[in-house]
Structure 1
Amino acid sequence: MSTDFAFDDELLADLVETPGVPGYEDKIRARVRAELDGHVDRLRSDSMGNLLGTIEGSDPAYEVVVATHIDEIGFMVKHVDDDGFLELDALGGWDPRILRAQRVTVHTETGDCPGVIGAVPPHTLTDEQKKAERAVGDARVDLGLDAETVAERVSVGDLVTMDGRTERVGEFVTGKSLDNRVSVLAAIEAARRIDDPDATIHFAATTQEEVGLRGASALGVDLDPDLVYNLDTTVANDVPGFEAGEQVTRLGEGAAIKLKDSSVVTNHKLNRRLRGVAEDRGINHQLEVLPAGGTDTGGLQRAGGARPAGAISIPTRYLHTPTESVHGGDLDAAIELLVAALRTEDGTHDYTL
């Protein structure tokens, strides 16, 4: 990929292509740990798999959490049939219409196996079959192996992820799990760029967001921050078929400052400060009102008690598909805004309502 944007695009590709479905984030957590090591003062994880990297501030009494989930949507094998086809159970929100004719990777105890979710040729289907509603449970993974070999290699509980490379398409980056690996990259970049902050900053790589904000909700047991920032992707329906009011955000117009989603109404004093920081520094930004879909912001706002919470979102087309797309300039803007906000968090801003 080209390097005309400020972020580390090679690292982004590596993060996107490292597997980590909800509850099984081991590989991506290890990758993030390796990147944070040397840029934070402390690294630790908890029994939910959340990874915390802390930069000690000059005012240790004032603490800020920057959270970003590391899990991706995927599947778990729930049955291997007598013919060697795999039946799946979803981990996260899938639209079953997009599953046909996709390549996947099955992660087994003895190694990864490539597979496909096939599609019956349309000219062999009846009119009734063509109109039938699809469900995730209808998908079958074909490993191209005989049933006996499949039974030896694959077990119930093995994980399945989409198989896809990270590519540049014009000014966009496309990939299978930009949700939420673009935000993971943003947090890593911030940790790299911030030295000697006033506030103590905890970079939290959270787990199981795609199945109910579970990792973030558990953070409040171990942390009692004064302020929370969440980083995630958001909807950009700026494509044919949507009215202007339905688009939520638009690619190429900058980082999105979240006002609400279905899990949270963010702290409006924090929102105004984020807008002020962006305007003062000429950082492209837009406002996000997301009518459906929740994020870790909601879990963090209430984890262990009430706390001011805000979010910086990265506009993304085609969310929860293998071709998620973000504009490189929006990712740069999100990183710049996060870094600028953290550098100016010194405990003097009043977020009480």
Structure 2
Amino acid sequence: MTNDFQLALWKRLTEAPGAPGFEGPVRDIMREYISDCTDEIVCDNLGSIFGVARGDENGPRVMVAGHMDEVGFMATRISEKGFLSFQTLGGWWGQVLLAQRVHVITPNGTVEGIIGSIPPHVLGEDLRNRPMDVRNMFIDIGVESREEAERLGVRPGQPIVPVCPFTPMANPKRLLAKAWDNRYGCSLAIELLRELKQSPGHPNVVYAGATVQEEVGTRGAKTSAHLIQPDVFFAVDASPAGDIPGSREEGGKLGGGVLMRLYDPTFILMPGLSDLLIETCEQENIPYQIYIAKGGTDAASVQLYGAGVPTAVIGIPSRYIHSHASMIDRDDYEAAKRLLIAVVKKLDRTVLDAIRFR
């Protein structure tokens, strides 16, 4: 059963605004929870944050990272009538944007808005039958002028995020929220540190936390790898589910277990690490799903640090990622949590050498 700790953590993480480059509110939550697990916190100069759990100082340096940022927007211009032009931050499909609520994050507080465009009633038939181009969309914050928008604190350059409250569904295992990509990974990193505090003695040094700016080019992963200099890396990230009507079911299904990502265009899972993960799942009776992905994660950058870092993605499926609302299954989260904790607790120098050279 989900406990009160998890529910509070998930609600706070998913509802916090954290567009790429503007992850401060999420980082504040991460720092609060990490501080309860360890006195040692490290950050890179872009804002990625990690707690350190020291087991065997002679063991491998294990880096575990979610990413704090979510797909969002940046205000670029305010029209004379107070409408906002915007730039997407991260990968958006234009058809999921229209008539959706957003929050403009200003120094004076949150300003409500809605994404609009020219209504179809006044479009010619050729344009009406085509998807609306994102460049023709705007954000309406309900004001009458640029001056009124500015009095609210709205300026070009400010972040804008989707609105979706954290909501357990009719089946309480299914959880709806914005930004499961990738507040899932942020939560899992915190739970790993919590477990290692309660059960010390792991055969390594663990750096667990979250990076910044993954959605715009895995930028924080690059700087964090230079900071930590890991021997092995686990990206914890959500991936699109393939269990909805009309899908070819190439992704995982909700409730089917942890995603075992073997390949994406930026990453191939090393055989030795694949064997370790699958053997652990089978030994611990952890359900898993084989997954071939079309998009990348922070794994793309960290695996190329220095002479190379053995890297894996411990993921879960999430419906409707890169939109305003996404859904995960609690059982998948728990499967990923069990796998991550089990692998970290067995990853000593001997295991690492077997991964490298198998």
Q: TM-score range by the shorter chain?
A: over 0.9
Aligned residue type for 1:116: I
Aligned residue type for 1:86: L
The DSSP-based 3-state class of the residue aligned with 1:59 is coil
Name stretches of at least 5 consecutive residues in structure 1 with no aligned partner: none
Residue 164 (structure 2) pairs with residue 164 (structure 1): yes
CA distance change for structure 1 residues 4 and 201 in 2, over 3 Å: closer, same or farther? closer
The structure 1 residue matched to 2:272, chosen from 265, 269, 281, is 269
Q: Which residue of 2 aligns with 1:236?
A: 241
Q: Which residue of 2 aligns with 1:116?
A: 114
Distance in 2 of aligned mates of 1:224 and 1:133: 45
Q: Which residue of 1 aligns with 2:150?
A: 151
Q: Which residue of 2 aligns with 1:88?
A: 86
CA contact (8 A) 1:117 1:142 kept: yes
Distance in 2 of aligned mates of 1:7 and 1:234: 24
Deviation at 1:30, TM superposition (A): 1.1
Q: Which residue of 2 aligns with 1:174?
A: 176
Question: 1:143-186 CA deviation, whole Å, 9 max, x = no partner?
Answer: 11221211332111011001110111223111111100011111
Residue 292 (structure 2) pairs with residue 289 (structure 1): yes
Residue 355 (structure 2) pairs with residue 351 (structure 1): yes
Aligned residue type for 1:151: E
The DSSP-based 3-state class of the residue aligned with 1:8 is helix
The DSSP-based 3-state class of the residue aligned with 2:64 is strand
Distance in 1 of aligned mates of 2:218 and 2:282: 31
Distance in 2 of aligned mates of 1:221 and 1:187: 19
CA contact (8 A) 1:255 1:331 kept: yes
Q: Provide TM-score, normalisation by structure 1.
A: 0.94
Distance in 1 of aligned mates of 2:335 and 2:245: 25
Distance in 1 of aligned mates of 2:269 and 2:4: 28
* Aligned counterparts, 1:130-209, within 5 A: 130-147=128-145, 148-152=147-151, 153-169=153-169, 170=171, 171-194=173-196, 195-209=200-214
Aligned-pair Cα RMSD in Å:
1.7
Deviation at 1:133, TM superposition (A): 3.4
CA distance change for structure 1 residues 109 and 176 in 2, over 3 Å: closer, same or farther? same
The DSSP-based 3-state class of the residue aligned with 1:192 is helix
CA contact (8 A) 2:51 2:207 kept: yes
Aligned residue type for 1:150: A
Deviation at 1:95, TM superposition (A): 0.7
Q: Which residue of 2 aligns with 1:341?
A: 343
Question: 1:165-222 CA deviation, whole Å, 9 max, x = no partner?
Answer: 0111223111111100011111111111122311000113101000001110122322
Q: Provide TM-score, normalisation by structure 2.
A: 0.93
CA contact (8 A) 1:220 1:305 kept: no
CA distance change for structure 1 residues 6 and 155 in 2, over 3 Å: closer, same or farther? closer
CA contact (8 A) 1:216 1:303 kept: no
The DSSP-based 3-state class of the residue aligned with 1:334 is helix
The structure 1 residue matched to 2:27, chosen from 13, 26, 29, is 29
Distance in 2 of aligned mates of 1:4 and 1:190: 16
CA contact (8 A) 1:15 1:31 kept: yes
Q: Which residue of 2 aligns with 1:100?
A: 98
Distance in 1 of aligned mates of 2:268 and 2:39: 32
Q: Which residue of 2 aligns with 1:212?
A: 217
CA distance change for structure 1 residues 5 and 248 in 2, over 3 Å: closer, same or farther? farther
Deviation at 1:125, TM superposition (A): 4.2
Question: 1:113-149 CA deviation, whole Å, 9 max, x = no partner?
Answer: 1111135554554422312332322221111122121
The structure 2 residue matched to 1:317, chosen from 311, 316, 319, is 319
Question: 1:21-49 CA deviation, whole Å, 9 max, x = no partner?
Answer: 11111110111011011312410212111
The structure 2 residue matched to 1:278, chosen from 281, 296, 300, is 281
Deviation at 1:329, TM superposition (A): 0.5
Aligned residue type for 2:315: S
Distance in 2 of aligned mates of 1:52 and 1:4: 25
Deviation at 1:243, TM superposition (A): 2.4
The DSSP-based 3-state class of the residue aligned with 2:355 is coil
Deviation at 1:321, TM superposition (A): 1.0
CA contact (8 A) 1:277 1:340 kept: yes
Deviation at 1:5, TM superposition (A): 6.5
Q: Which residue of 2 aligns with 1:304?
A: 306
CA distance change for structure 1 residues 5 and 262 in 2, over 3 Å: closer, same or farther? farther
Question: 1:209-262 CA deviation, whole Å, 9 max, x = no partner?
Answer: 000011101223222221111100112121111224xx2211111011211112
Name stretches of at least 5 consecutive residues in structure 2 with no aligned partner: none
* Aligned counterparts, 1:37-76, within 5 A: 37-76=35-74
Distance in 1 of aligned mates of 2:295 and 2:43: 27
How many pairs does the alignment contain?
348
